[in-house]
Amino acid sequence: MMQTNRFWKFVFFTLVATLFLMAGILSFLWQQLTAEEIQALSYIAVKDGVIITSLVLIFAFVIFIGLQIIYLTYIKPLKKICAEAEVIYSTNPSHRIKITGNRDFKRLFTVINDFADMFENLNKTITEQVLTARKETEKERNLLAAIMSELPHGVIICNRNGRILLFNSLAKKTFTPDSGIGRSEIFLGLGRSVFHLFDKALIAHAIEEIEERLNTPGQSVASYFITPIHTGQLISTEAIPVLDPENRMTGFILAFQDITDEMNLYDMTHEKLISLKKDLTVQVEQIRDLLNRSDLKFHDIPSIRQDVMKILDLWPHQYEEVSEMLLDAIATRIPLTRHLLKDFLSGLKQKVKDLYDIHLNLSMIDEESNMLADTYSFSTALIFLFQNLSEMIHTREFNLSSFQNNGFIIFEISWQTPLLEKHRIETLLHQRVNSLPSLFYILKQNKALFQILCDSHGSSSRINIVAKAESKMPLKEKHQSPVITGSRPEFYDLDLFRTDEEDSDLWNTELKQITYTVFDTETTGLNPDGGDEIISLAAVRIVNNRIVYQDIFEELVDPKRDIPMESYRIHGISYEMVTGKKDIRTILPAFRDYAAETVFMGHNIAFDMKMFKVKEELTGIKFLNPVLDTLLLSAILHPIHDHHDMESIAERLGINIIGRHTALGDAIATAEIFLKLLPLLNSNGVLTLRDAVKASKKTYYARLKY
């Protein structure tokens, strides 16, 4: 694992031992020589010293060349076999050993590659069988999660420690309404803490309340609370426990909905009712004062009566105003949607014809107008109206004209003879429409008015229904996405239920259980101390041993300086692209929040960390996250390889890099490389964060400084 060559260590110690042995032998022989023999040898050494030294050096060089040939021919291929074979069976079954070396090793490499082909085919067969066996179960699981994803309520599911393991689209939209950055609450992602979104004391209180109710049979176990969130919205939340077979709480579900508009409407209605109460109190007191006058005379009665009638005439108007607001409060909960008027009337004409054989003569001035209504109740009400009018006047033909006027859509219903008395038509307003409420109530729900146009005798052959194109109160059109049963929903990882963070020691945590922030930077150059700046910062998270592609951080940064052409040729980021973007003082605090409570991961991350370090004084941000480097991890596992750049590692591991030299592309590639290296690290005894950091420090590349 360490980048040391045991072969050359063995050679070195062997030579040292040989030299000591030869020195001992020569010393013994030297002592056996006579004075004349010693003098003769000394003479030869002085006379032919250069020749002897040259012969010794040539001999040493020949030995070195021979050892190097032995190393390259036999030792290095053996070491390469181990490293390459480990890649094949642990990470990349498609990887093959390049056939080099002597004839014996070429035969060995060929045999290994043949076995690799068999292994790859067998692995594909087993994988296909496993996928087939899991297909139905996976389909049911994905369908459930997909349905959860599109519920009309926001849903966040957490484990016992508050780590998010599922959230649906509405939850993401509620807590991350835009792509702006600046505070930690906006980061909603798998494995993150829910306490960035909800107050921790509030959740703790809800859990305590749930646990108390679990011990009391017959009670509802849910806990309810209303709380504001960082977007300024007010949400009503229901906390529901998730129990294991032993009835122990393993997590909780937060189901919530935005009640901001309802609360605002409630406040407005409440103020209106208070105002009505005050007005009625004042008016009643005025009437009492008028009736209780001590100087009241008989001739004053007409005047008093007139004053009382003026006051009483105000009451219907005040009642109508308050009742209108109350009905609006109810109507805002009815899901009104926009429909093309032409399509609505065509469908209505066909239904009336099919059900009651009534013919409608349609006339539309603007066929492209849109109407806002609950089409089922509104069309049912109109069909009910045509049916009853037909029975009253004994006709099967009506004229139905529609046009838009000042924000109103007017439906004009008319017929020939006979005329109908106004009171007879009004009786229809209070009749129930099949299983729905009364006609009056349905029209009110759909923000529509009912007008009877009468002649001087109080008879009518024309009715107008005036629908409001826009409501006084904000009516939200909800665009719900369909549930696609074949797709895998994005925002869940139910395996997080099994994590246990209580009393966890990060340094002794297994690598596959750690949450990582994998990031990369693009810069103006390679000299952090010389004034080079970050111009792009991007990151992706690894949670529960998989990449969460939906939880990314990607920002261009204004460097407040020029971008050299040689740097532009590498990353393609021009001065115009970053001018006016947020500067590093804004980006780094947001990135700190994004990466909170995670381990940093990068490729040659020492450079990126140096870029952060030189900005500590300017931004006040100091990153203390533990750090791992895929360059060092690759050097740990494959010391026999000379190249540990991103492209070389990706090629060995069978990874296709998309977006090289973009911050996000390199961050994703680094994450994929790490997940490929992880099984190799585990098989080599590197299991925990402490193991990985300790082994990384022993590599040659760990000595690189910026």
CA–CA separation, 269 and 322 (whole Å): 8
Distance CA 595, CA 598 (A): 6
Tell me how long the chain is: 706
Q: Are 567 and 524 in contact (CB under 8 A)?
A: yes
List, in sequence order, every residue forming a beta bridge with 522; answer none if it has no partner.
536
| Domain-ending residue, one of 308, 331, 354 | 331
In a domain, 499, yes or no: no
Q: Distance between CA 675 and CA 488 in Å, rounded?
A: 21
CA distance 628 to 507: 12
Would you say 415 and 389 are in contact if contact means Cβ atoms under 8 Å apart? yes
Are residues 539 and 439 part of one domain? no
In this structure, the answer to whether residues 375 and 508 fall within a common structural domain is no
Q: How far apart are CA 154 and CA 173, in angstroms?
A: 9
CATH of the domain at 365: 3.30.565.10
Cα–Cα distance, 387 to 355 (Å, whole number): 9
In a domain, 183, yes or no: yes
Residues of the chain with pLDDT under 50: 1-4, 180-185, 471-490, 503
> Domain check: are 659 and 574 in the same one?
yes
Domain termination site, one of 311, 331, 351: 331
Whether residue 315 is found in the same domain as residue 369? no
The tokens describing 673, both together, are: 């490389």
First to last CA, the chain: 25
Strands (E), 389-533: 397-405, 408-414, 420-421, 432-433, 436-438, 448-454, 459-468, 516-523
In a domain, 132, yes or no: no
Sign of the torsion formed by the C-alpha atoms of 660, 664, 668 and 674: positive
Choosing from 331, 358, 388, the residue where a domain stops is: 331
Residue 294: give the domain boundaries. Answer: 262-331
Say if CB 554 and CB 663 are below 8 A apart. yes
Does residue 214 sit in the same domain as residue 324? no
Q: Is residue 447 included in any domain, yes or no?
A: yes
* 536 located within any domain: yes
Six-digit token string for 335: 């899901």
> In this structure, is residue 79 part of a structural domain?
yes
Q: What is the CATH number of the domain that holds 174?
A: 3.30.450.20
Inter-residue contact 535 to 523 (CB < 8 Å): yes
Residues 345, 421: one domain?
Answer: yes
Find the helix packing angle between 646-653 and 630-637, rounded to 10°: 50
Instruction: Say yes or no: 201 and 322 in one domain.
Output: no
Number of other CB atoms surrounding residue 582 within 10 Å: 16
111 burial class (0-12, 13-18, 19+ CB within 10 angstroms)? exposed
Tell me how far apart the 2 most distant CA atoms of the chain are, in Å: 168
Q: How many domains does the chain have?
A: 5
Whether pTM exceeds 0.75: no
Same domain assignment for residues 309 and 350: no
Q: Tell me which residue of 496, 505, 515, 514 sits closest to 250, measured CA to CA.
A: 496
Let me know whether 546 and 630 are in one domain: yes
72 secondary structure, DSSP code = I
Question: In this predicted structure, what is the pLDDT of residue 270?
Answer: 67
Q: Are 212 and 307 contained in the same domain? A: no
Domain CATH number, residue 680: 3.30.420.10
Contact 340, 302 (CB under 8 A): no
pLDDT score for 36: 81
Residues in a beta bridge with 599: 516
Residue 122 lies in a domain: no
Report whether 467 contacts 372 (CB < 8 A). Answer: yes
Q: Is the dihedral of CA 696, 700, 705, 706 positive or negative?
A: negative
Catalytic residue set: 661
- 596 with 635, same domain: the answer is yes
388 and 450 assigned to the same domain:
yes
Rounded Cα distance, 497 and 150, in Å: 22
